[in-house]
Homo-oligomer: A and B are copies of this chain.
Amino acid sequence: MDNIEELNAEQRIIEAAADVFEESGFDGARMQQIADKAGINKALLHYYFRSKDLLFEKVFLIVAERIFSGFIKAFEEDGTIFQKIELFLTKHQELLYKNRRFPIFFFNEISRNPTLMKKLVAKLEFNNRFKNLILQLENEKEAGIIRQDVDVKHLMINIVSLSVFPYIGRPVIKEIMSDFGYNYEKFLEERKTVVANFVINSIKA
């Protein structure tokens, strides 16, 4: 959303709020700052969204849905499990790279208010979307393509862990890397292929 001026007040508020909340978190965010960034009076925030809590919840769900639905589709395309993993990792990395501040913001806010996750899960219909993937994994296990001892739950979490953690731990990794003379950005670039290989090596029969 570059041309924020063209949007109407309500939409400008949402974009501004997304930005400020992501930058400072719920507790650190200031209604005045959101109003300034949206180019409107502070009272208008309350006119459209009643309270900081309600504004936050609405914005949080909008942004989270935007990002999640971006890569959740990767698992719904056709292809072998290896292809799906590679496709997911590519899309995931792409999205993370464009939204570096999102992961830590997301997990932090969810930790402070787990109810948000219930609402998000309901909105995104996780359950339905992953059923086929689970079936496919069981099939490929029996077909001898992947190891017998692979567990779907753990595999999924492993993939997401490996993909998203470098963004959550960005400043930590960056600092340690530079301490060793490595470059963080180069590291992220390498990771696009490294992670896929790591996962596939680990599960193929």
A114 within 8 Å of B by Cβ? Answer: yes
A171 to chain B: closest CB distance in Å? Answer: 4
Binds B, one of A34-42, A76-84, A103-111: A103-111
Residues on B with C-beta less than 8 A from A110 are: 171-172
Indicate which residue in B126, B158, B198 contacts A179 across the interface (CB closer than 8 Å).
Answer: B126
Residues facing B in A112-128 (CB within 8 A) are 112, 114, 117-118, 121, 126-127
A residues adjacent to B (C-beta < 8 A): 24-25, 27-28, 101, 104, 107-108, 110-112, 114, 117-118, 121, 126-127, 130, 147, 149, 151, 153-154, 157-158, 160-162, 164-166, 168-177, 179-180, 182, 187, 190-191, 194-195, 197-199, 201-203
Q: Which 6 A-B pairs have the closest CB atoms?
A: A161-B165, A27-B27, A202-B202, A114-B171, A27-B28, A117-B175
